[in-house]
Structure 1
Amino acid sequence: MNRFIAVAAIAVALMQAVPASAAKNVVLVHGAFADGSGWREVAEILEDKGYRVSVVQHPETSLDEDVLAVKRVLAAQDGPVVLVGHSYGGIVITQAGGDPKVTALVYVAAYAPEDGESAADLRQKMPPASTASKRTPDGYIQLDPAQFHQDFAADLPAKTARFMAISQVLPNASVFSTKVSNPAWKNKPSWGIVASEDRAINPALERFMYQRGGFAVTEVKASHAVYISRPKEVAAVIVEAASRN
């Protein structure tokens, strides 16, 4: 009997963790050189709070194909969605976030381009510290494994960063030069997380983009891999975005 009461109490607590008026669906979009597995701890924190979490595994072959992958997941949601993007994933959610199910956007150390702007355009404004990227003969981009820990994930254990380096997903170079249209952040409430120790995207550029868009901004002392190294802080911003929609 006591066990039944305890289980019931836990169930009630989880239901109460998500405000009645909140968006209960969260869709997480990874960035370049990574896949969706990096969202694991953020997803688990959100699920423990009662949110329904989906992680998009987009191919990084073109912006159009990545946007379609996100829309496929959005179509499966049963209500309002908080759409979250890390790094290049910010470009993807900027283009895909116009979907009517999306009620809020969260940019995690991510690009937030203006109409007619690309990642390459933004990087020229404020170049990053990293020089680790190199182009393959067939037009994809790789981060030098020897620099991956320092430039992408400096606050993660060396073994973790090493595995990420040797398992990185190479994006097609075109994803960085493709310009977006009708940015979703112009019509949806948006939040931005600045990773203050970021070497892959200039933190000053992150601040510029988020301030330009009128985002609610949170700054976290972390590397570009802030979604892995500081999952509690990232999850807290997502919860804030969800609770206001």
Structure 2
Amino acid sequence: MAAGCPEYSANIVIVHGAFADASGWEAVYNILKKDGYHVTLVQNPLSSLEDDVSATSRALDKQDGPAILVGHSWGGAVITQAGVSEKVVGLVYMAAFIPDQGETVISLLQSGPPLPVNGILPPDEKGMIYFDKAKFRECFAAEQSENKANFMADSQQPITVKSFLTPLTEAA
């Protein structure tokens, strides 16, 4: 895309997935900034679909023009709903869920064959879901060094069960 084209956007808003935070996108951030883009990394609270969409909407509201919205994994569901914003001119899904209006992430997870190795643990007594640290690198951070994957596993952010059970009310 070239400057001057109606779909051109110098603003990129990145939404991370479950069990992580925005710091996992640092390398991509650095590349995009070097190329002259204005990059915003959303810190999802992972407390509900509504809360994550609200966090993304606040980031979009701060943009000085149109934005490309990028979502990874769980972040795909978030950008699908937040992408109805008039500021959004494009959606980019990075190994992400793309539910339709009325669908849930759990329904998408259950619609395919079981994963050969699954590190998602059952919810704890507070309804929080964690990723098994022993399987974190293999299933979640395979491209990372062992040290980085261990750091990510130890700093992972849990997500609520209700996040996966909440249907999208809108879909971009």
TM-score class normalised by the smaller sequence: over 0.9
Does residue 130 of the first structure (1) align with residue 114 of the second (2)? Answer: no
Within the candidate set 43, 49, 65, 2:35 is matched to 49
Structure 1's consecutive aligned runs of 4 or more residues displaced over 3 angstroms after TM superposition are none
- Change in Cα spacing, 1:129 to 1:179, as seen in structure 2 (3 Å) is farther
Structure 1 residue identity aligned to 2:18: A
Cα RMSD between the aligned structures? 1.3
Q: Distance in 2 between matches of 1:145 and 1:80?
A: 39
Q: Distance in 2 between matches of 1:177 and 1:35?
A: 21
Distance apart, 1:182 and its partner CA: 2.5
SS at match of 2:58: helix
Does residue 59 of the first structure (1) align with residue 45 of the second (2)? Answer: yes
Task: From the CA coordinates, give the structure whose radius of gyration is larger.
Answer: 1
- Report what 2:13 is aligned to: 27
Which segments of 5 or more consecutive residues in structure 1 lack a partner in the other structure? Answer: 1-16, 185-245
Q: Distance in 2 between matches of 1:71 and 1:183?
A: 14
Q: Distance in 2 between matches of 1:57 and 1:18?
A: 29
Structure 2 residue identity aligned to 1:131: N
Which segments of 5 or more consecutive residues in structure 2 lack a partner in the other structure? Answer: none
Distance apart, 1:18 and its partner CA: 5.9
Q: Distance in 1 between matches of 2:151 and 2:135?
A: 13
- Change in Cα spacing, 1:183 to 1:128, as seen in structure 2 (3 Å) is farther
Percent identical among aligned pairs is 45
- Report what 1:104 is aligned to: 90
Deviations 1:84-126 (A, max 9, x none): 0001000100110000000000000100001211111011111
- Report what 2:25 is aligned to: 39
Structure 2 residue identity aligned to 1:110: A
SS at match of 1:73: helix
Within-5 A mapping of 1:33-182: 33-126=19-112, 127-134=114-121, 135-182=123-170
SS at match of 2:147: helix
Q: Distance in 1 between matches of 2:80 and 2:57?
A: 12
Distance apart, 1:160 and its partner CA: 0.8
Count of residues in correspondence between the two structures: 168
Structure 1 residue identity aligned to 2:159: P
TM-score by length of 2: 0.93
Structure 2 residue identity aligned to 1:20: G
Structure 2 residue identity aligned to 1:62: S
Q: Decide which structure has greater helix share.
A: 1
Within-5 A mapping of 1:207-218: none
Deviations 1:24-83 (A, max 9, x none): 100000000000001111111111111110011120001101111011111110101000
SS at match of 1:154: coil
